[in-house]
Amino acid sequence: MTDKRYKDLGQLGAQANTPVSPDAAKLERVKNPNDDPYLIRFTCPEFTSLCPVTNQPDFAHLVIDYVPDKWIVESKSLKLYLTSYRNHGDFHEACTVGIAQRIIKEIKPLWLRIGGYWYPRGGIPIDVFFQHGTRPEGLWVPDQGVAPYRGRG
90 in catalytic set: no
Q: Is 51 a known active-site residue? A: yes
The 8 Å CB, 24+ separation contacts for 122-126 are: 125/149, 126/92, 126/93
> Are residues 127 and 118 in contact, defined by beta-carbon separation less than 8 angstroms?
yes
Active-site residue (options: 51, 69, 90, 127): 51
Cα separation, 36 vs 26, whole angstroms? 27
3-state class (DSSP) for residue 90: coil
Q: Considering the candidates 44, 58, 65, 95, report the single residue annotated as catalytic.
A: 58
Distances (CA, A) of 147 to 6, 114, 116: 38, 15, 12
Residues recognised as catalytic: 51, 58
